[in-house]
């Protein structure tokens, strides 16, 4: 365990990234790192075979442990846990980890622990260089898998249970503080009472964040050195809205946050009553509130939250963390499950958005600028067999209900025509196999490349719907890498240029009678709801947990008045004052 920093009882704060809104007040419960001090020594050449066998046996045991955990999952376990554990199981069989570690034993005569840790560091370093946030954070999977095997090699249990036992015998209100939390450990912690958790590592797409959202418990990740700087029993305040942790708060600050916590809980109870209330503005304009999902199982959460449909199913999550591509049947079953769950509500499925910085078979590639490289639709059109498999699965799912096929990274009409041709080919091949029921689908595109937003008219004419991906659109308009902390201050959703492109897209599509959604982070930020309504937006797509918060703002809004105010500000090229819109 890391050595504790010099401790102080004075109040201090640390900022990270809030991944679940809410407030928590409680005592710190420090979760020790599972990583071990790895022994480094050379073995004799004649002992290499036995050392390889020792490593393989430990890796096999770790894999069997994971399978056992899956088989014994409780009924109320988060639905995200199974695919997370499956990623870890696949890593344990990945030749890049198992075979290469074995070569370090046989060729360099490293002991098993040293060999495994060395290869793990190599793989984690490769992932850390990846541009894509989700893929970069998969280095945490590698680290957690290796820690599990190292614990077995050391003769210890495969996962730490001490914290779960500690929590189980203490009062509610404890806050877990950890360097990182593996999916299996998170499952154990879910069985006991705690009010929030904080991690040094992680980001918005890390496992910690995913499970936090499923549990709807305040969480802050990416805190850097918090676990080293606090002690068991320290009093903490967690502000999930601001991504802030307050250590040893004063009585005045405690009282302020107790009031905020009570207000937030009261709001959540009131919002639950809005589930079946239509999202209609004060002047009678109906607004669609849809949900973003990464996994098929999350569609149930969207349905229960009262979402009007699925506005974005990121299908690439079906392709990640596995040794082989998902088959057509596997993809069909995933898409069909979402369609069935939504019971007639529309389902928007984005085609595979991958490429440039990482290939699907695990081979690393080097791109001068991955954000501008061979990704999304460009990648799919360069790999027609892969694209045909996905399109066939999507078309088959559309026989069960309306499927809106969403194409990312479109920048030219040639790409639209190429996708139309690929769809026609997929439909023809399915008809030839005897699928006679009608295909119920619409074709749309992500508006995230400025060239498309500027010249939106032909796209609006030739597509059935549009969905604005504000995350990438802002990045490209502002020439700011949204993953680069040094320039994050320039990543500005309220910049007049960004808002003008959004307004232009909505207005021109409206003139052709084509619906437009926003599925980026802006749509789920209730502070921006009135502004987006003022831009003319009538369809928002967001995490399911945000639907009620955004609906509350819609119900308080007068869309006509907002359109006038926002248009006036854009005409003057002024920054919009959000306070004046309420």
The pair of three-digit structure tokens given for residue 280, joined into one six-digit string: 């209609």
> By the 8 A CB rule, do 517 and 466 touch?
yes
Query: Three-class SS of residue 399?
Result: coil
DSSP β-ladder status, 516-518 and 465-468: parallel
Residues catalogued as catalytic: 207, 519
Q: Which helix (H) or strand (E) holds 473?
A: helix 470-478
Angle at 536 between CA 565 and CA 419, to 5 degrees: 150
- The separation between CA 438 and the C-alpha centre of its own chain, rounded to angstroms, equals 33
Spatial CB neighbours of 254, under 8 Å, sequence gap ≥ 6: 25, 235, 237
- The separation between CA 312 and the C-alpha centre of its own chain, rounded to angstroms, equals 12
Within 132-201, where are the H helices? 133-136, 139-153, 162-168, 183-190
Within 308-359, where are the H helices? 328-342
Long-range contacts of 364-373, Cβ-Cβ distance < 8 Å, separation of 24 or more: 364/126, 370/130, 370/131, 370/132, 371/131, 371/472, 371/475, 371/476, 371/481
Spatial CB neighbours of 271, under 8 Å, sequence gap ≥ 6: 548, 549, 551, 552
* Closest by Cα among 348, 347, 341, 368 to 357: 368
Distances (CA, A) of 347 to 257, 272, 402: 40, 23, 7
The pair of three-digit structure tokens given for residue 512, joined into one six-digit string: 């052709």
> By the 8 A CB rule, do 12 and 217 touch?
no
One-letter-per-residue 3-state SS of 438-469: CCCEEEEEEECCHHHHHCCHHHHHHCCEEEEC
> By the 8 A CB rule, do 331 and 390 touch?
yes
DSSP β-ladder status, 310-314 and 196-199: unpaired
Rounded to an integer, what distance in angstroms lies between the CA atom of residue 576 and that of residue 568? 10
Spatial CB neighbours of 495, under 8 Å, sequence gap ≥ 6: 474, 477, 478, 575
- The separation between CA 183 and the C-alpha centre of its own chain, rounded to angstroms, equals 15
Rounded to an integer, what distance in angstroms lies between the CA atom of residue 182 and that of residue 210? 12
> How does DSSP assign 70-106, residue by residue?
HHT--TTS-TTHHHHHHHHHHHHT-HHHHHHHHHHHH
């Amino acid at each position: 365990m890391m050595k504790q920093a010099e401790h102080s009882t004075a109040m201090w704060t640390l900022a990270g990234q809030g991944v679940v809104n809410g407030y928590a007040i409680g005592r710190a419960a420090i979760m020790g790192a599972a990583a071990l001090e790895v022994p480094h020594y050379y073995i004799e050449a004649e002992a290499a075979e036995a050392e390889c066998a020792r490593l393989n046996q430990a890796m096999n045991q770790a894999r069997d442990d994971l399978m056992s955990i899956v088989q014994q999952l409780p009924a109320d376990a988060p639905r995200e846990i199974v695919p997370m554990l499956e990623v870890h199981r696949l890593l344990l069989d990945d030749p890049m980890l198992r075979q290469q570690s074995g070569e370090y034993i046989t060729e360099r005569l490293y002991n098993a622990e040293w060999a495994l840790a060395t290869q793990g560091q190599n793989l984690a370093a490769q992932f850390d260089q990846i541009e894509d946030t989700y893929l970069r954070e998969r280095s945490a999977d590698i680290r957690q898998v290796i820690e599990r095997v190292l614990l077995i090699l050391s003769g210890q249990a495969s996962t730490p249970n001490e914290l779960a036992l500690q929590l189980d015998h203490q009062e509610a209100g404890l806050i877990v503080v950890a360097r990182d939390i593996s999916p299996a450990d998170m499952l154990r912690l879910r069985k006991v009472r705690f009010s929030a958790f904080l991690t040094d590592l992680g980001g918005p797409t890390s496992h910690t964040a995913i499970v936090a959202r499923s549990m709807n418990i305040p969480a802050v990740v990416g805190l850097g050195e918090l676990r080293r700087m606090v002690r068991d029993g320290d009093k903490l305040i967690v502000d999930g809205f601001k991504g802030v942790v307050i250590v040893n708060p004063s009585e005045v600050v405690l009282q302020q946050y107790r009031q905020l916590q009570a207000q937030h809980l009261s709001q959540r109870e009131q919002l639950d009553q809005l589930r079946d209330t239509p999202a209609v503005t004060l002047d009678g304009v109906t607004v669609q509130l849809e949900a973003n999902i990464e996994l098929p199982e999350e569609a149930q959460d969207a349905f229960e939250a009262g979402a009007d449909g699925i506005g974005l199913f990121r299908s690439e999550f079906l392709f990640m963390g596995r040794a082989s591509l998902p088959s057509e049947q596997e993809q069909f079953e995933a898409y069909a499950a979402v369609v069935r769950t939504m019971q007639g509500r529309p389902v928007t499925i984005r085609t595979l958005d991958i490429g440039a910085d990482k290939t699907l078979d695990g081979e690393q590639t080097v791109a001068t600028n991955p954000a501008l490289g061979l990704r999304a639709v460009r990648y799919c059109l360069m790999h027609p067999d892969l694209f045909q498999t996905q399109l066939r699965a999507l078309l088959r799912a559309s026989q069960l209900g309306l499927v809106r096929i969403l194409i990312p990274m479109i920048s030219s009409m040639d790409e639209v025509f190429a996708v139309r041709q690929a769809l026609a080919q997929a439909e023809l091949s399915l008809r030839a196999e005897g699928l006679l029921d009608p295909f119920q689908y619409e074709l749309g595109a992500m508006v995230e490349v400025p060239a498309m937003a500027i010249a939106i008219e032909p796209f609006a004419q030739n597509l059935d719907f549009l969905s604005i991906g504000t995350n990438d659109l802002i990045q490209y308009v502002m020439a700011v890498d949204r993953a680069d902390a040094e320039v994050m201050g320039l990543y500005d959703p309220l910049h007049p240029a960004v808002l003008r492109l959004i307004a232009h897209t909505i207005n021109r599509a409206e003139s052709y009678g084509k619906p437009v959604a926003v599925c980026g982070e802006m749509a789920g930020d209730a502070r921006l709801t009135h502004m987006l309504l003022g831009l003319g937006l009538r369809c928002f797509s967001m995490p399911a947990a945000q639907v009620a918060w955004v609906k509350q703002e819609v119900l308080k809004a007068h869309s006509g008045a907002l359109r006038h105010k926002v248009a006036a500000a854009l005409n003057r090229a002024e920054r919009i004052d959000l306070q004046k819109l309420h």
